[in-house]
Every structure is written in structure tokens, then in C-alpha cells.
Amino acid sequence: MGGQDREHDAGASYRYQAMTRELIARIEAGHYAEGERLPSVRALMRAHQVSMTTASRVLVELESQGYAFSRERSGFFVQPRPPRTGTTPTTPTPTRTARPAVVSMNALVASLFRAQAGEGQLSLGAAELAAELLPTRALTQAMIKVARASGAEGILYGPAGGEPALRHQIARWMGTRGVVVAPEEVWITEGESGAMGAALRALTRPGDLVAVESPTYFGLLRWIEALGLQAVEIATDPRLGVDVEELERVLETLPVAVIAVNPVFHNPFGGTVPPERMQALIRLAARHRVPVIEDDVYGALSFDSHGVAPLRAHDEAGGVLYCSSFSKTVAPGYRVGWCLPGRWAERLALFPFGGAVLPQRALAVFLAGRAHARHLEGLRALFAGQASRIRALVLEAFPEGTRISDPRGGYVFWVEGPASFDALGFHARARAHGIGIAPGPLFSPTGRFANAFRLSVGRPLTPGVEEAIRTLGRLARGGD
């Protein structure tokens, strides 16, 4: 890229810092009262003649520094509490040298991944619900009921697309998330992995380029590798999502076949992208005629009781292929996911598909009653309630300069150590203490994030877990 782009960005970065400082000064001077509404993104754009990205970043930075809080669809308000400082991860610098990378998880990273499956560990690595948080009784009853009632139908191949009763329940559930679909538009897959694999196979050919968030979920990277695709990393902000301006530059210069994002309760950040940024992403992708794969596997786990609508809910033109599953919320071992293939349904039908019949039927029974809603409510309350305690614990225990993301749903946290922090070495030391974490380089096709890791706390914050976090902090400070 030429010097013009660099200047442009240096200018944007300067303006963003200047605007942030100015607003902080005004808040501290009492120009805006506690709880008062701050200028909207549009107002800032007009007043300062800046892009939407710059304006949004200013507000989000205020929130991240503890000067503001946001309310869905209402904007940003002055935060009454004393400001917290330096606790959210830095936004990765947009890669002005964005280049396609052949994805190949090297032996080290692969071994790290396998190591997480090890037993006898307190796993804060795998994003997985603890056994005590599963709706075991209700699901077991449902499974026994459907096994008895199904007879041979539970043992024969199921219908293409999945069990009709489950497709019906998922269509209903999607409605509560703001997505209106008919049951026949829902396709059952073998977990989230099956959904992502099917989506990628439908939308790409080997050698194609996939624009991915940086950091992104390593399961996506494994599929990209398996299908012989290439990845280009787009800088992604913990609160604003993928950098739409950088993405635009990439779309203009590289033949991107598909964009893969996780806008709601992002893995590994836990943040969610504001609706206007989702709309900007959809418009950009539509303008370049590039389809978007949305991973919404944590979408049901909002800390906020009214929930967050996925990207797909904003997609009027049919540019988003939506993927989700029950693996992070209800029943990982049932291996049931789904996708909404939209206009790509024909392509998806070409490839092997579907999951076991009885787990689908048991889930349909579970979803038909009120148990699902009650179960999700319990998880949300638990995770919302303990998130700030987990953040505080990490910031207390870890060395100076450590940052941690501020999730709005789900149960993963992204922790960034100081620049010198070595996440791979830290992972090995943590393992020796019986604690699993997911080191940062797993989340990048080019091994970025060497000083970061994901912490997954899909379990109640018991004294044992608190102790494990303190142990991690001690190890990070160089202790044994």
C-alpha cells in the first residue's frame, strides 16, 4: 500500500486520540453530567468531519476507559462510577500489509490444541460448560422419551435437512432473536463445526481467500486449512468488531471469496458489535458482493436480559449465511448445530450433512417446553454476575500492564499481557500446574497474539477457580 493510506490512517489515529482527550476533558470538567447522553456517532461525524469508524472508536474508548456506558439503540451515556483504567485489550493495529496466508497450524499449535483435551485438568482453556451447568435431568428425560417413542425411526437415516420437529423449534427460537425463518430454511448440522464446514464448502473453492477476524476462533482456522483455503486477517476491535475500513481496503485489493465473523459475544473477546457497525459490515459486503458467514454460537448467552440480535437480523438482502449450535449452551455431546443457508441451500445440499437422529429429537422436546428459556436465564444470570469479579481477579493477580476484555455475553475472556509476556511458555507452565488456557497464537493464522490468551470460565466461580486464576497470575509474574 502507498504512502497516502499511511498518512490517512495516521491522521485518523491522531484525530481519534484528540477527540477522545477532548471528550474526557469535557466529562471531567462536568460539561456532561453523570448519566447524561453523549453525542451520537452521527453527531460526532458531522461535528468533527470524521468517519463512522473514528467516531465509534472515540465513544467506545470512553466506555473502555470507564467514562461512558452504552445502552442498546440509545447511545452512550456518562458513566457515574469512578473511571477504571487500562483494562480492555488494545485494538490490533490494522494490518496495512494485509496479505493472504495459507493456513497451516504448525505442530506446536496443534499439540497445544490437543493438550487441551487432556484430563485431570482444571480447564480454563476449552470453551465448555461445566457438567453442573447442563440441563442433564430434562435432557435425559427427553432422550428416554424419544428413544422409546421413535422405535426404528430413531435408528434409520433421518430426513435430509434434519428432524422436522427440531427445525420447527429452531425457527421459533430464531424468531426470538429477531430472525424470521421458516422451519424448512433451517438446516441441521453436526455441531457448530459441521455448520461452519458446510458453509465454507458451499461458498468457496480450494485456494479461495477468506477474510477472518483477528483474533478469530481456531475451529474456523482448522476448516480453512482442511479445505485448502487461504485467510486474510482483518484487525478486530473487542467492542466494535471487524475494522470495516480495513476490510474495505482489503476487499478493494484482494479477491476475497467470503468474510467470516462472530459479531455477537465474540470468541475470544466476548464483546458484541453495535447494530450500526453490523449494518455497515452488511452494506460493505453487499457492495462488493461478498457473502458473510456469521458464527453465532454464543448468541443465546447475553448478559443483558433482552438479548442481542445477530448480524443475520440486519440482513435484508440475503448476504449472510448464519451458523449456530447447542454446543455452548445446552448439550455439547449431542453434536447438534444448524445453519440458515438462505440462497445457498442448493449448494449446501451437495455435501454430506446431518447428525444423529435421537439427539435431534431429544433437543426438539427440550426446546418445546419452558426448560430451555429457564436454563438460558440461569446461565445468563450466572455469567453476567461473575464477569466483573473474574476481570477484577485477573487484573489483581496478573502483572502490571495486563488487560482483559469486557464481555457482554458468553463465558470467554481475552487477556493481553505486557508486550514481553510469552503466552506459549505460560501455557506450558499453567499445564504443569493442572490448569488449561488457550494461548493467543491459536487464534491467528499467522501466529499473532504471542502475548495474549483466552480464559474460558463456563463454570461457577468457586473458590477453586478463583485460586486457579490467582495461580495463573503468580505464574505470569514469573513465580512457580
Residues that bind a second copy (CB under 8 A): 105, 110, 114, 117, 119, 126, 128-129, 131-132, 134, 136, 139-140, 143-144, 147-148, 151-160, 190, 193-194, 197, 201, 205-207, 219, 222-223, 225-228, 327, 331-336, 349-352, 354-359
DSSP for 11-63?
A: HHHHHHHHHHHHHHHHHHTTSS-TTPBPPPHHHHHHHHT--HHHHHHHHHHHH
Q: Which long-range contacts (CB under 8 A, 24 or more apart) does 75-84 make?
A: 75/37, 75/38, 75/40, 75/41, 76/37, 76/38, 77/35, 77/36, 77/37, 77/38, 78/27, 78/32, 78/33, 78/34, 78/35, 78/36, 78/38, 79/34, 80/34, 80/35
Q: Are 273 and 263 in contact (CB under 8 A)?
A: yes
Q: Which of 114/306 has CB closer to a second copy?
A: 114
- Tell me the C-alpha distance between 388 and 383, whole Å: 9
Shortest gap between Cβ of 313 and a second copy (angstroms)? Answer: 27
DSSP for 117-140?
A: T-SSSEESSS----GGGS-HHHHH
Shortest gap between Cβ of 444 and a second copy (angstroms)? Answer: 16
Q: Which of 238/337 has CB closer to a second copy?
A: 337
- Burial string for 327-340 (b: 16+ CB within 10 Å, else e) reads bbbbbbebbbbbbb
Q: Which of 113/413 has CB closer to a second copy?
A: 113
Q: Are 192 and 336 in contact (CB under 8 A)?
A: no
Q: Which of 13/150 has CB closer to a second copy?
A: 150
Shortest gap between Cβ of 401 and a second copy (angstroms)? Answer: 34
Shortest gap between Cβ of 221 and a second copy (angstroms)? Answer: 11
Task: Give the cell for residue 139.
Answer: 435432557
Q: Which of 249/375 has CB closer to a second copy?
A: 375
Going by their DSSP bridges, the two strands 336-340 and 209-214 should be labelled as unpaired
Q: Which of 35/118 has CB closer to a second copy?
A: 118
Q: Which of 223/421 has CB closer to a second copy?
A: 223
Of the candidates 300, 310, 322, 197, which has an alpha carbon nearest to the alpha carbon of residue 263?
310
Cα four-point dihedral sign 397, 399, 400, 404: negative
- Tell me the C-alpha distance between 247 and 234, whole Å: 6
Phi, psi at 151, each rounded to 5°: 55, -135
Of the candidates 199, 240, 229, which has an alpha carbon nearest to the alpha carbon of residue 92?
240
Q: Which of 33/155 has CB closer to a second copy?
A: 155
Shortest gap between Cβ of 141 and a second copy (angstroms)? Answer: 9
Q: How many CA atoms lie within 13 A of 145 on its CB side?
A: 13
Shortest gap between Cβ of 38 and a second copy (angstroms)? Answer: 43
Shortest gap between Cβ of 46 and a second copy (angstroms)? Answer: 48
Residue with cell 440482513: 315
DSSP for 332-352?
A: GGG-EEEEE-GGGHHHHTTS-
Shortest gap between Cβ of 148 and a second copy (angstroms)? Answer: 7
Shortest gap between Cβ of 298 and a second copy (angstroms)? Answer: 16
* Helix or strand run (H / E) with residue 241: strand 241-242
Shortest gap between Cβ of 167 and a second copy (angstroms)? Answer: 15
Task: Give the cell for residue 53.
Answer: 469508524
Q: Which of 369/401 has CB closer to a second copy?
A: 369
Strands (E), 262-355: 292-295, 320-325, 336-340
Q: Which of 194/238 has CB closer to a second copy?
A: 194
* Helix or strand run (H / E) with residue 261: strand 256-261
Shortest gap between Cβ of 154 and a second copy (angstroms)? Answer: 6
Kindly report the number of other CB atoms within 10 A of residue 230's CB atom.
21
- Tell me the C-alpha distance between 292 and 295, whole Å: 10
- Tell me the C-alpha distance between 187 and 184, whole Å: 7
Q: Which of 105/244 has CB closer to a second copy?
A: 105
Q: Which of 152/182 has CB closer to a second copy?
A: 152
Shortest gap between Cβ of 127 and a second copy (angstroms)? Answer: 10
